[in-house]
Structure 1
Amino acid sequence: MRKNIPILALLIVLLGIALYQNYGNEVRSFLGAGSDKKTLGAALAEGAPKPGSPSPAFALQGLDGNTYKVGGERDKPVLVNFWASWCDPCKDEAPDLVKLYEKYGDRLDIYGVNVTAYDTVEKAEAFVKEYGIEFPVLLDKKEEAYKKFNGVAFPTNVLIDKDGVIQDLIVGILPPKDLEAKIKKLLQSS
C-alpha cells in the first residue's frame, strides 16, 4: 500500500492541474480571484429573487390535502421554509420553527415546503410527526416552487410581507434569536 501513495499523490496533482487548466477561470471567478470578485453567498444567491421584489407565485398541496398559495396580497405575512427530511440543519431548525409558530401563528403564516423532488412523502410525514410540526407542510414534488427562489441549499427561508413583497431571503440556518428578530421586524412593518 505504501508503494502506491506516491502514485496516488501524483494522480491527484495531475487531476488538479487538468481541472485548473480546463476550469481555472470559472474557479477563480467563483472564489473571488481576479477582477470579478464574488463571495460564496453572492454566487449562490445569483438569480434568486431579491428583498424588495415581489415574491414568485406558487400553489402547492399540503400534507393535509389543502392547497396553499404564495404570491400577491394576503391576510398575514408568511415565512416559507424550504427543507428536506435528511437535512441536518433542517432538523436543528425544526424545533425553533415550531416554537415560532406557537408564538406568532396568529399573526404570521409559516409554510414548511418539503422539496419532495429530493425526498419522499413518507419521510416528510415522519419528520413532521417527529418534530410535532403543526403549521402547513406543502409538497414541492417537482421542485417548481424551490426553483422559483433559485434554491441552492436547505434550509432556505423566505420572509414575505402582506403585500407579497420579499423582505428577507435566508440561505442556511440562523440562530433562533436572529430568526425571531427578523420575524418581529416583518410583523412590525406589516
Structure 2
Amino acid sequence: MKTAQELRVGNVVMIDGTAQVVVKAEYNKSGRNSAVVKMKFKKLQGVGSSESVYKADDKFEDVRLDRQDVTYSYFADPAYVFMDADFNQYEVDAENLGDALHYLEEGMACEVVLFNEQAISVELPTTIVREITYTEPAVKGDTSSGKVLKPAKIATGFEISVPLFCTTGDKIEIDTRTGEYRSRA
C-alpha cells in the first residue's frame, strides 16, 4: 500500500477494482487545511481517464507489473508483435505504444510490460542509434545564434531536429525519452 503523497507519475494503482496509471500528481499543502494530492489517472486496460483529489494520507493498492525482454518482430494490423527468447509472442496495440512507434525497427530489442500476463506497453532502451535518411544541406552563414538545428528524417519517417553538421547517411544517437538528438554515432 502507498499513500497518495508517495505516488509518482508512472505508478500503477488499483482504484475501484480497475488498474490505473498515474499521469499527473500534484501535492498541495495550504494553511490550516490538510494536505491534498490532485491526481490524473489513465486506465491501464481500455480507454478512459479520470481526475480526483485525495487526502495526502489516503492509501492505494500498488500494482506490480512484470517485464519481459523481447525483440520486435512484425506489424499484424492492428497490433505490433514482439517475441521473447522462448518464442512466446506478445501483441501490443498501436495506441499503447505511444512514442515507441517512432523508433521501432524489425529485430529491435526492448521490454514488454505485462499486467495479468497480458502485454500492455513497450519500453525502449534509453538511447538508440538510427541513420538519417534525409536532411537538407546546411546553408553557410546560417549560424547567427549559438545552437542551430535543422529537421532530419529517420527510416521510420519520424522527424527529429539535428545540428547543421549532420548529413544524410549519418548515424545519430537519439534519446527515446525526449525524442532529442544526443550525438553522432
TM-score by length of structure 2 reads 0.22
